[in-house]
Amino acid sequence: MNYKDRKSSPVRVFSRKELKQLEQEPELCNHDRRTFLKWGALLSSQAVIGGGVLNLLTGEMAHADDTFDNVVQWVYSVCGYCSVGCGLKIGVNAAGEAVAVRGNDAHPTNAGRVCVKGLYEYKVLDDNDLRVAERGKYPLRRTSTGGWESITWDNATSLIAQKIIEAIDTAGPDSVGIYNTGQWTIEEYYAMGKLGKGALRTSTMDSNTRLCMAAAVYGYMTTFGSDGPPGCYDDIENTDCFFLIGTNPAEMHPQVWRRIANARKSSRAPKLIVVDPRRTATARSADLHLQIKPGTNVALMNGLLQQIIANNWTDNGYINANTRNYDALAAKVASYTPSYVSGITGIPAADIALAAEWIGRSQEVWSLFIQGVYQAMGGTDTVRQICAMHLITGKIGRPGSAPFSITGQATAMSNREAGGSSALAAYRNYYNPAHIAELENIWDVAPGTIPPHGTTVISSKSELQPEKNSMVEMMRKGELKVFWNACTNPAVTLPDLNALYSYLDFSNPSRPFVVVQDIYEPMETAHFADLFLPAAQWGEKTGTYTCAERRVNLGRQAVNPPGFELRPSYGAYSDLEIIKMVADKMAAMDPRFRTQSGDSLVGFNSAEEAFEEWKQVSAGKICDMSGMSYAALETNNGIHWPSTPANLLGGARLYTDGRFNTNWDRAQYGISPDAPWIDPDDKSRAYLWAVDYEAPPEVPDSQYPFWLNTGRVIEHFHSRTKTKRVAQLHEMVPENYVEISTEDAQSLNVATGDLVRVTSRRGEIVVKARITDTVRNGAVFIPMHFGDLDPSDVAENDGRLVSVNRLTINYVDKDCGQPIYKHCAVKLAKA
Ligand code: SF4
């Protein structure tokens, strides 16, 4: 079906009075059946029109085929989209088809509620609603004329194995790049980590979680000694002050927002501070909105730390017993007075002082942060400062107080835990010989098999940061021979796309052999693929998902993957099965890719078998899951790690005793025991970072006078591979747009709906204008979800280029390598 042929659905724009009522009613930011029916409308809670205006699809349209009547079985599951980790049940009819989703009433995370993506998640399993031909059912090989030919799985795995062996023999193991996702299961990450490091021996492994929350990981690892958010969702009801920085839960994580909003109505009445350059729905609900200038988070955090220290709101007992480097921190922030910080951030000095006072004087403080921190200038440093704020006030490790990172994808945490890309399994330190030797022993591979830690992240640009290496740089230089891209879409999500496309173009003689493993073809990255491997997705396989609060959930298979009847030659397989097929083929072809006993490294034959092996790898480690089982995960509606047989459910909060993972034998990261955060006295103390504000690499000037900010809408997920194929979601936000302030729109002579040309030093796009007071003058916002290569998008946009990452700068955080998507400079003109 052509998207343009779809009947456009009526969109109701509510009056200001109705909007006020909606914004104050947290239940309506969530979508259980009761509110669905009560309003006769599906609330997307998305500021797609601007100014926090809520865009509603009429209930009649949304409800047309949303029925539970034909459900004969509800299959236990968890949402496969975002990291909130809502418990779901998938409704299956007598024919074995998925026909509904409902929230799991007993699940503590969402208590039966789901957001709009979750509500329609079964649609991605519904062959009648999707263009079935676009679900991959056949492995495909690129022909000499640029088309596809289908090949058997046997031939496909032989081809990928040959290409990998050829690359290793001619250019070394690191010429094989593996780039994966935050949407697999723990079992799949564990298998890929084992194949990549234990058999292929490549250190060129990364995942799209680099784009998503690398700053949180590096901030945690270099402060606490290890990754892992210290708190849990139950802190929400136990705090006195919410400090939300770079996050918009009212529109992006509505189940978290529901709990925050309900907590705010309680007798405890916690305060709400929101730091955001945009006046989002969350910011409009705040007691104090700090509308910060782009790229200045580090300066603000130093200002808050300065005020907390200057006013003696510190916990000196906690500082002395449980932290190091306090004096350097205090000296560093001393000059960051409110008036000085106001000059950098644009926030009134009195508001900075008031925010610090609320944080300093509140008994308990809960900080929430996401991409506005991670994808901004100084992302890792900002996370370190947030952690420092909790440490110097002693507000950590008890109910209601924690720094709490959230993330975009359902299993970004799982990738890091299981070592599916750049990390080593179970938070082992790549640089600690004892950790490496232990894992090699468990895996039955020879000492020295696991390669040295790679510093190769997915993206960087040598012109801007010559010291950084990346897979994109390796592509540019012709050093990457195989690029195995699984369950992610870099042709939409990486920065500076025009440059990437030139490296991957089929006319480039030094391009790598590109394998794309995904659920749909077409999808943008598959435009550049030599080999396409059709994968099963959420609901079509069983596995485990770690959500943002370290709760591991179980998602069970509800339906068979597409092309199941074509097996074993064709048909989509789970990523775990595909990884095993490749591992087995490589082991059969070449003894170098076997264990010391002569077996394939991926020996398990089911997801549950893989989980049982993984549990043993995690035993005794920071993210210990040895107490869990599939049965226990379902019975308890998820279990936090650490979880041991002796203490199954005791992992809700970390660092309750003020002891951290900074001793060398336990630390997850650190090139040597001399790393600043490694406690030289083995006292497990946290490290306080003293950092300075640094201006972003590109700021508006006379030629490119606007700040460009990129972000998300709730109706879509990542590059829309799935959500653009769900009619209800597509119709709510069918095309990309640019938010422009009223004053700037007048200067540019544009109105909502006009086409606007947005140009940066790297590219140009043409999108429709939305005039709004969500953005301030001199700043624009464009969603990150939209590609412009797939036929459906070309048709929807009449051939216009619309992908915002054609504009963004390929500049990455100095510590964690996460690209800065939240600010670069652009110019605008009416098209
Ligand atoms: S997308 Fe996130 S908030 Fe929405 S239902 Fe899924 S897990 Fe919950």
Question: 610 is written with which tokens?
Answer: 């893989």
pLDDT of residue 127: 62
As a whole number of angstroms, the distance between CA 822 and CA 573 comes to 36
* pLDDT tens track for 456-498: 899 999 999 999 999 999 999 999 999 999 999 999 999 999 9
Residues above pLDDT 70, as percent of the chain: 91
Looking up residue 802, the CATH number of its domain turns out to be 2.40.40.20
pLDDT of residue 14: 41
Q: Does residue 352 sit in the same domain as residue 455?
A: no
Q: Is pLDDT above 50 for 542?
A: yes
* pLDDT tens track for 627-656: 999 999 999 999 999 999 999 999 999 999
Mean pLDDT, all residues of the chain: 91
User: Which of 44, 88, 115 has the most ligand 1 atoms within 8 A of CB, as the residue to mutate?
Assistant: 115
Q: Is pLDDT above 70 for 53?
A: no
Q: Does residue 391 sit in the same domain as residue 429?
A: no
Summarize the confidence of residues 250-254 as an average pLDDT: 87
* Contact criterion met (CB below 8 Å) for 344 and 395: no
Residue that is last in its domain, among 80, 105, 129:
129
Between these two residues, 408 and 402, which has the higher pLDDT value?
402
Helices (H) and strands (E) in the chain, counts: 28, 29
User: Residue 463 domain-assigned?
Assistant: yes
Ligand 1 interacting residues, C-beta cut-off 6 A? 79, 81-82, 84-86, 110, 114-115, 117-118, 253-255
Q: Is pLDDT above 90 for 442?
A: yes
User: Which of 105, 117, 718, 726 has the most ligand 1 atoms within 8 A of CB, as the residue to mutate?
Assistant: 117
Q: Is pLDDT above 70 for 51?
A: no
| Those residues with Cβ within 8 angstroms of residue 219's Cβ, 6 or more apart along the chain or in another chain | 379, 380, 381, 382, 383, 384, 386, 387, 816
Structure confidence at residue 128 as a pLDDT band (50, 70, 90): low
Looking up residue 361, the CATH number of its domain turns out to be 3.40.228.10
Q: Does residue 148 sit in the same domain as residue 100?
A: no
Helix (H, G, I), strand (E, B) or coil at 455: coil
* pLDDT tens track for 150-206: 999 999 999 999 999 999 999 999 999 999 999 999 999 999 999 999 999 999 999
Q: Does residue 116 sit in the same domain as residue 154?
A: no
* pLDDT tens track for 698-752: 999 999 999 999 999 988 999 999 999 888 788 889 999 999 999 999 999 999 9
User: Residue 221 domain-assigned?
Assistant: no
Structure confidence at residue 607 as a pLDDT band (50, 70, 90): very high
Question: 7 is written with which tokens?
Answer: 């009947």
User: Residue 450 domain-assigned?
Assistant: yes
Q: Is pLDDT above 90 for 36?
A: no
Instruction: Using the mean position of ligand 1's atoms as its centre, give its distance from the Cα of residue 114 in Å.
Output: 6
User: Residue 536 domain-assigned?
Assistant: yes
Between these two residues, 665 and 125, which has the higher pLDDT value?
665
Q: Does residue 120 sit in the same domain as residue 145?
A: no
Helix (H, G, I), strand (E, B) or coil at 98: strand
| Those residues with Cβ within 8 angstroms of residue 507's Cβ, 6 or more apart along the chain or in another chain | none
Structure confidence at residue 129 as a pLDDT band (50, 70, 90): low
Looking up residue 454, the CATH number of its domain turns out to be 3.40.50.740
Half-sphere exposure of 256 (CA within 13 A, CB side): 30
Kindly report the length of the chain: 831
Residue at 654: amino acid letter: L
Structure confidence at residue 408 as a pLDDT band (50, 70, 90): confident
As a whole number of angstroms, the distance between CA 293 and CA 274 comes to 13
Q: Does residue 821 sit in the same domain as residue 792?
A: yes
Q: Does residue 155 sit in the same domain as residue 117?
A: no
User: Residue 675 domain-assigned?
Assistant: no
* Contact criterion met (CB below 8 Å) for 203 and 665: no
Instruction: Using the mean position of ligand 1's atoms as its centre, give its distance from the Cα of residue 79 in Å.
Output: 6
User: Which of 42, 84, 407 has the most ligand 1 atoms within 8 A of CB, as the residue to mutate?
Assistant: 84
User: Residue 809 domain-assigned?
Assistant: yes
H-run or E-run covering 289: strand 288-290
Q: Does residue 334 sit in the same domain as residue 461?
A: no
As a whole number of angstroms, the distance between CA 573 and CA 383 comes to 38
| Those residues with Cβ within 8 angstroms of residue 5's Cβ, 6 or more apart along the chain or in another chain | none
Number of domains in the chain: 4
User: Mind giving me the DSSP string for 501-563?
Assistant: HHHH-TT-TTPPEEEEEESBSS-GGGGG-SEEEEB--TTSS-EEEE-TTSEEEEE---SPPTT
Q: Which atom of ligand 1 is nearest to the CA of 80?
A: 6
| Those residues with Cβ within 8 angstroms of residue 12's Cβ, 6 or more apart along the chain or in another chain | 41, 56, 57, 58
Q: Is pLDDT above 80 for 19?
A: no
* φ/ψ of residue 546, rounded to 5: -95, 125
* pLDDT tens track for 319-378: 999 999 999 999 999 999 999 999 999 999 999 999 999 999 999 999 999 999 999 999
Between these two residues, 60 and 295, which has the higher pLDDT value?
295
| Those residues with Cβ within 8 angstroms of residue 599's Cβ, 6 or more apart along the chain or in another chain | 444, 587
Q: Is pLDDT above 80 for 66?
A: no
Residue that is last in its domain, among 101, 129, 157:
129
Q: Does residue 576 sit in the same domain as residue 716?
A: no
Structure confidence at residue 120 as a pLDDT band (50, 70, 90): confident
Helix (H, G, I), strand (E, B) or coil at 296: coil
Q: Which atom of ligand 1 is nearest to the CA of 110?
A: 8
Residue at 643: amino acid letter: S
Q: Does residue 203 sit in the same domain as residue 242?
A: no
User: Residue 389 domain-assigned?
Assistant: yes
User: Residue 686 domain-assigned?
Assistant: no
Structure confidence at residue 117 as a pLDDT band (50, 70, 90): confident
Question: 201 is written with which tokens?
Answer: 């021996």
Residue that is last in its domain, among 405, 437, 468:
405
The 10 Å Cβ neighbour count of residue 2 is 10
Q: Name the residue with the closest Cα to ligand 1, atom 8.
A: 86
Summarize the confidence of residues 285-300 as an average pLDDT: 98
Between these two residues, 132 and 720, which has the higher pLDDT value?
720
- What does the DSSP 8-state code read for residue 637? T
Q: E-assigned strands of 673-807?
A: 686-687, 706-711, 737-740, 755-759, 764-771, 779-783
Render the burial of 616-645: b for 16+ CB within 10 Å, e for the rest: ebbbebbbbbbbbbbebbeebbbbbbbbbe
Q: Which domain holds residue 785?
A: 706-830
Q: Does residue 739 sit in the same domain as residue 817?
A: yes
Q: Is pLDDT above 90 for 789?
A: yes
Q: Is pLDDT above 70 for 302?
A: yes
Structure confidence at residue 52 as a pLDDT band (50, 70, 90): very low
Q: Does residue 716 sit in the same domain as residue 755?
A: yes
